[in-house]
Amino acid sequence: MSLINLAESYAYATTITSGVFGNSPVGLIGFGDAGVGSTAMATTNGGLSLQSIISDPGSSFDTMQANFTANYQAMAVQAIGIGLTFKFAKKLLRKPISNVNRNLMKPLGIGVRL
């Protein structure tokens, strides 16, 4: 498992969930964000959670459609930026990342790499 690839995937997930649901991936599941976990449909920041989608799917899907229509261009720009940033950073930091993986992560034997 690569920690850098995991961070890149989380960045993409954040872009999508904030643009469509108005919430972070963790907030969408119902953990950690302000207001999430309450019984109200929308959180205090106006985002949706899985609980709100299950309890009121019609209104939730209308909200998701409106959010996507309003945010799809910004989401596309963010996704391109994330891809370019991680690609550039991986190339720029190739030697230090390799060094950490070889000298620190591999001896630990936990199956995780940078």
Task: Parse the chain into domains and list their residue ranges.
Answer: 3-108
Q: What secondary structure, in 3-state letters, does 6-30 show?
A: HHHHHHHHHHHHHHHCCCCHHHHHC
Summarize pLDDT for 67-110 with one digit per residue, the tens.
999 999 999 999 999 999 999 999 999 999 999 999 988 888 88
| 87 in Cβ contact with 32 (< 8 Å) | no
Tokens of 105: 């992560």
Cβ neighbour number for residue 44 with a 10 Å cutoff: 11
- What is the pLDDT at residue 38? 41
- What is the pLDDT at residue 108? 87
2-13 CB burial, b ≥16 within 10 A, e <16: eeeeeebeebbe
Report the distance separating Cα 87 and Cα 80, nearest Å. Answer: 11
Summarize pLDDT for 20-77 with one digit per residue, the tens.
999 999 989 877 544 434 434 444 355 888 988 999 999 999 999 999 999 999 999 9
64, 66, 70, 75: CA torsion to nearest 10: 20
